[in-house]
Chains A and B, each alone.
Chain A
């Protein structure tokens, strides 16, 4: 049962084959057993969770159930949830209890889904390995000595270890797609503005977007139907008609023009990853897709641009964590300035501090034009690259990450190597486009483990239904997405 999709479990709930309380308890039992090592969940509240399951059962009994009613979902700990500890992976918020619900939490509650618990993450979503979390690293279920990716590493590991049927993530530069790739999942970052950012603790406001992490594209489509929609509490939320993301799942792919950016297959891409990605593309040819080579000439600039803009916004977004109203405050301090300095020095980890420093620097008088403004200009060029590319193709495919999951600690002291993990994902955020990663196969590690490889699918603005269609068609002819890691039974 643990390997069933949301769709299948939903049908079992609707058919009264199982109750939400039973299903939820099953996952809670698995968490009890496996989470102490994997560390995917950092906050559980079984009473709240089971109360929600009970409520879902009453909805189902009354015939008021919808697709996700009664299904337990892991929530990334970046989303504020009323009555739940919400830490964002930081000591700064170690004891912070959410006083209100994020939009995404409200939406899942609204359809009777069950909040299974809060998942681990890189501190303030800053990281690509989940190693910056104050609450400890997360194991990759495919090889426990390796990282699950980040920043939504907890959500990825939770779904991969079948501790929940699906989870939420957020993606600022690849934080849904890269861990999905490293853990063998499907993960989707929607077009910027489709999902509300209200209640999602901000990292880089102009890039942050929440999205689903699940086993299949079909499940992601069901979740997209819940997550997306206008929210007047977020000024960047787009007021457009609600879509049914399942509508095109079964469309044939014949004639689909798939663009392969030559820059995504150049130096820096691991040969093992390239092999798997190329095989997946061959599969798409068989499904009737037409392959065209395209160019995204400014790809190399996306990392430097991102590491100016994201820290700039973060340095300001994180200013509210000052020890005055909530969050960590140093026990002993002298004057006000000392209170600020000590509270922030103690409350933030090294990577967060690094990014605050970078961000403060690039916004400083005398440097603003050379860094921030220049980066904004290049950001526009990067968006133009995609605009041009979509004149030649319907959809773009390539690797999600340059490598498979790396060993814990391997890149922890080399920030630049870590930042390069996002070389293929960051440009999508800079352009505000939707991007997705789906399991495309496995590459063997040197010690003989099977490590998942993700295929990235990038769509034009608001083209999520087409992307999900492409992913679903592939998942109908492959079974990578249903394979489970060993040792999680």
Chain B
């Protein structure tokens, strides 16, 4: 039987507000335990939550970015359960009426000929507070509680079960990861837990409608693990069903060391969270004016920017897409063009050499040793014929290594292109004289021999001859 995997994601994004969602305590990461736990974070008797409107702004931004309905009235609810890192014994979240309703995102999956686009539907996104952390092993035989993170604002973004492969799920997660950083609501730091995914996976015989029983893989904090976890889980479910077993609804954890998923608790033991509207908070009202204010502060969104790159710079769809994959990349590209570079050349360099180097050194584009204006000055030297493309690659390497700016490197390495026709003619004459056989072959109709002769001339000029001129002069001399 052929199987189909069905995947939906729930992503917790930590919002970049200075203070917590229901108190004035700082949200900074990495402080000494419990130094950012105010009376509200500690849930002392008598304290009350007060909503941080900055968190609401973030939610509106996200809603606008995925073309979603933004609820004029949403409700905070209490999700009740006992856990030591949950100081109130309930989490303030949104249940029946979330702040962001249905929306969608278009993802690109795969590369090259097999690349395709797909629309992923967003079910909802809601505001909630994060819990604290249990710290095990700091003290012999005891568990510690750190409430610094308790009350940090989260936006939980839930999709429809629209994804059909690990690749689609990862593509969605990456796109979402880019988007939340693009609109400035989340720092995207996965190691610090700012962006955490829960993945619901089920399988069904291909061609059937009814969804299979799902298992939820909790707290994936890297795309690599997500890919591995989904693949393992999918295979496990298929094998289980093919062996005549059934899938029990469950929460599972992925173990990166073994590459396996393992059930944490089954749904029968699951909590009844006893959700009810939090009487300490009024319903959250968002007016048209609130939305307009946020809209005015929104950066140009990737989709709009992509269309603009295609129209304004004549870039190919694929290139425009790649350049708008993250705001930092797009900003880098735009800055390069603004510094005087040809747009198509800038696109090629950013997606080519720059991105290859960054990947190889595992660097963010913001940390690139070559700034957009450096890159533009290099591209300008290609545009004005000072250096060849090949020489430009050498200059780029040297610039990356910090050896100086484009002009000084061209100078010191003597990479300036020879465009003096007299000098090129001399070289071409030498090449013709030294390569009788090739000349004969060319005259006998072998086009390849011409290219070989050009290569020889370029070699003789140590790559500095202007290739266009070499072509022209060689053609003339051979009477072609």
Which of A79, A233, A312, A326 is within 8 Å of B50, CB to CB?
A233
Q: Which of A182-190, A359-367, A459-467 contacts B (4 or more CB under 8 A)?
A: A359-367
Which of A198, A313, A316 is within 8 Å of B46, CB to CB?
A198
B90 CB-CB contact with A under 8 Å: yes
Q: Check B274 against A360 for contact (C-beta < 8 Å).
A: yes
* Contacting residues, chain B, for A236 (C-beta < 8 A): 279-280, 282
Q: Which of B78-86, B174-182, B260-268, B438-446 contacts A (4 or more CB under 8 A)?
A: B78-86
* Contacting residues, chain B, for A198 (C-beta < 8 A): 46-48
B89 CB-CB contact with A under 8 Å: yes
Write out, one digit per residue, whether chain A residues 325-336 have a CB within 8 A of any chain B CB (1) or not (0).
110000000001
Q: Check B280 against A235 for contact (C-beta < 8 Å).
A: yes
A476 CB-CB contact with B under 8 Å: no
Evaluate whether A197 and B88 lie within 8 angstroms (CB atoms) in the complex, with A99-B39, A206-B279 already known.
no
Q: Check A363 against B274 for contact (C-beta < 8 Å).
A: yes
B98 CB-CB contact with A under 8 Å: no
| A339 to B, closest residue via Cβ | B84
A226 CB-CB contact with B under 8 Å: no
Q: Check B281 against A235 for contact (C-beta < 8 Å).
A: yes
A389 CB-CB contact with B under 8 Å: no
Q: Check A320 against B89 for contact (C-beta < 8 Å).
A: yes
Q: Check A235 against B45 for contact (C-beta < 8 Å).
A: no
Q: Check B82 against A340 for contact (C-beta < 8 Å).
A: yes
B145 CB-CB contact with A under 8 Å: yes
Q: Check B82 against A322 for contact (C-beta < 8 Å).
A: yes
Q: How far is the CA of A111 from the CA of B90 in the complex (A)?
A: 37
Evaluate whether A313 and B84 lie within 8 angstroms (CB atoms) in the complex, with A80-B44, A233-B50, A319-B89 already known.
no
Evaluate whether A205 and B280 lie within 8 angstroms (CB atoms) in the complex, with A198-B48, A322-B82, A340-B82 already known.
yes
Q: How far is the CA of A372 from the CA of B48 in the complex (A)?
A: 22
* Contacting residues, chain B, for A88 (C-beta < 8 A): 45
Q: Check A200 against B84 for contact (C-beta < 8 Å).
A: no
| B281 to A, closest residue via Cβ | A235
Q: How far is the CA of A234 from the CA of B51 in the complex (A)?
A: 10
Q: Check B46 against A235 for contact (C-beta < 8 Å).
A: no
Q: Check B46 against A325 for contact (C-beta < 8 Å).
A: no
| B83 to A, closest residue via Cβ | A336
Which of B50, B80, B274, B279 is within 8 Å of A205, CB to CB?
B279
Which of B46, B50, B272, B276 is within 8 Å of A202, CB to CB?
B46
Evaluate whether A365 and B272 lie within 8 angstroms (CB atoms) in the complex, with A235-B280, A320-B89 already known.
yes
Which of B44, B88, B272 is within 8 Å of A319, CB to CB?
B88
Q: Check B45 against A80 for contact (C-beta < 8 Å).
A: yes
B123 to chain A minimum Cβ distance, whole angstroms, is 21
A320 to chain B minimum Cβ distance, whole angstroms, is 5
Q: How far is the CA of A360 from the CA of B276 in the complex (A)?
A: 11
Write out, one digit per residue, whether chain B residues 336-349 have a CB within 8 A of any chain A CB (1) or not (0).
00000000000000
Q: Check A316 against B90 for contact (C-beta < 8 Å).
A: yes
Evaluate whether A99 and B44 lie within 8 angstroms (CB atoms) in the complex, with A319-B82, A320-B88, A368-B276 already known.
yes
Q: Check B48 against A197 for contact (C-beta < 8 Å).
A: yes
Q: Check B87 against A316 for contact (C-beta < 8 Å).
A: no
A352 to chain B minimum Cβ distance, whole angstroms, is 14
Task: Identify which of B90, B145, B280 gathers the most chain A CB atoms within 10 Å of its CB.
Answer: B280
B49 CB-CB contact with A under 8 Å: yes
Q: Check B78 against A316 for contact (C-beta < 8 Å).
A: yes
Q: How far is the CA of A364 from the CA of B44 in the complex (A)?
A: 26
Q: Check A235 against B82 for contact (C-beta < 8 Å).
A: no
Chain A: how many interface residues by the 8 Å CB criterion? 43
* Contacting residues, chain B, for A79 (C-beta < 8 A): 46
Q: Check B43 against A320 for contact (C-beta < 8 Å).
A: yes
* Contacting residues, chain A, for B84 (C-beta < 8 A): 322, 324, 336
User: Which residues in window 72-117 of A have CB below 8 A to B?
Assistant: 79-80, 86, 88, 93, 96, 99-100, 102
B42 CB-CB contact with A under 8 Å: yes
A232 CB-CB contact with B under 8 Å: yes
Q: How far is the CA of A364 from the CA of B273 in the complex (A)?
A: 8
| A88 to B, closest residue via Cβ | B45
A201 CB-CB contact with B under 8 Å: yes
Q: How far is the CA of A234 from the CA of B45 in the complex (A)?
A: 14
Write out, one digit per residue, whether chain A residues 194-226 have a CB within 8 A of any chain B CB (1) or not (0).
000111111011100000000000000000000
Evaluate whether A93 and B45 lie within 8 angstroms (CB atoms) in the complex, with A99-B39, A235-B282 already known.
yes
* Contacting residues, chain A, for B280 (C-beta < 8 A): 202, 205, 235-236
Evaluate whether A372 and B276 lie within 8 angstroms (CB atoms) in the complex, with A235-B49, A235-B50, A320-B89 already known.
yes
Q: Check A96 against B45 for contact (C-beta < 8 Å).
A: yes
Which of B51, B88, B89 is within 8 Å of A235, CB to CB?
B51
Q: Check B46 against A364 for contact (C-beta < 8 Å).
A: no
* Contacting residues, chain A, for B145 (C-beta < 8 A): 324-325
A475 to chain B minimum Cβ distance, whole angstroms, is 33
Q: How far is the CA of A336 from the CA of B85 in the complex (A)?
A: 12
Evaluate whether A364 and B88 lie within 8 angstroms (CB atoms) in the complex, with A80-B44, A80-B45 already known.
no
Evaluate whether A363 and B46 lie within 8 angstroms (CB atoms) in the complex, with A235-B51, A320-B88 already known.
no
* Contacting residues, chain B, for A96 (C-beta < 8 A): 45
B77 to chain A minimum Cβ distance, whole angstroms, is 10
Q: Check A201 against B272 for contact (C-beta < 8 Å).
A: no
Q: Check B80 against A319 for contact (C-beta < 8 Å).
A: yes
B270 to chain A minimum Cβ distance, whole angstroms, is 10
A142 to chain B minimum Cβ distance, whole angstroms, is 32
| A198 to B, closest residue via Cβ | B48
* Contacting residues, chain A, for B50 (C-beta < 8 A): 232-235
Q: How far is the CA of A267 from the CA of B46 in the complex (A)?
A: 39
* Contacting residues, chain B, for A324 (C-beta < 8 A): 84, 87, 145
* Contacting residues, chain B, for A336 (C-beta < 8 A): 84
B155 to chain A minimum Cβ distance, whole angstroms, is 20
Q: How far is the CA of A58 from the CA of B48 in the complex (A)?
A: 34
Q: Check A313 against B279 for contact (C-beta < 8 Å).
A: yes
* Contacting residues, chain A, for B282 (C-beta < 8 A): 235-236
Q: How far is the CA of A26 from the CA of B166 in the complex (A)?
A: 78
Q: Check A364 against B274 for contact (C-beta < 8 Å).
A: yes
Q: How far is the CA of A79 from the CA of B45 in the complex (A)?
A: 9
* Contacting residues, chain A, for B279 (C-beta < 8 A): 204-206, 236, 313
User: Which residues in window 234-259 of A have CB below 8 A to B?
Assistant: 234-236
Write out, one digit per residue, whether chain A residues 422-454 have a CB within 8 A of any chain B CB (1) or not (0).
000000000000000000000000000000000
Write out, one digit per residue, whether chain B residues 259-300 have a CB within 8 A of any chain A CB (1) or not (0).
000000000000010111001111000000000000000000
| A319 to B, closest residue via Cβ | B89
A61 to chain B minimum Cβ distance, whole angstroms, is 34
User: Which residues in window 17-58 of B have CB below 8 A to A?
Assistant: 39, 42-51
| B37 to A, closest residue via Cβ | A325
Q: Check A363 against B87 for contact (C-beta < 8 Å).
A: no
Q: How far is the CA of A320 from the CA of B82 in the complex (A)?
A: 9
Q: How far is the CA of A100 from the CA of B46 in the complex (A)?
A: 10
B274 to chain A minimum Cβ distance, whole angstroms, is 4
Q: Check B44 against A235 for contact (C-beta < 8 Å).
A: no
* Contacting residues, chain B, for A200 (C-beta < 8 A): 46
A98 to chain B minimum Cβ distance, whole angstroms, is 8
Task: Identify which of B45, B46, B51, B276 gathers the most chain A CB atoms within 10 Å of its CB.
Answer: B45
| A101 to B, closest residue via Cβ | B46
Q: Check A233 against B48 for contact (C-beta < 8 Å).
A: yes
Q: Check B46 against A80 for contact (C-beta < 8 Å).
A: yes
Q: Check A100 against B44 for contact (C-beta < 8 Å).
A: yes
Q: How far is the CA of A321 from the CA of B279 in the complex (A)?
A: 19
Interface pairs A-B: 5 shortest CB-CB: A319-B89, A363-B274, A206-B279, A205-B279, A199-B46
Q: Which residues of B are at the interface with A, using a C-beta cutoff of 8 A?
A: 39, 42-51, 78, 80, 82, 84, 87-90, 145, 272, 274-276, 279-282
Q: Which residues of A are at the interface with B, using a C-beta cutoff of 8 A?
A: 79-80, 86, 88, 93, 96, 99-100, 102, 197-202, 204-206, 232-236, 312-313, 315-316, 318-322, 324-326, 336, 340, 360, 363-365, 368, 372
Q: List 12 A-B contacts (CB under 8 A).
A: A80-B45, A197-B46, A202-B45, A202-B280, A315-B274, A316-B78, A319-B89, A322-B82, A325-B145, A336-B84, A340-B82, A368-B276
Known: A235-B281, A313-B279. 8 other contacts (CB 8 A): A198-B47, A199-B46, A199-B47, A201-B45, A236-B282, A325-B42, A340-B82, A364-B272
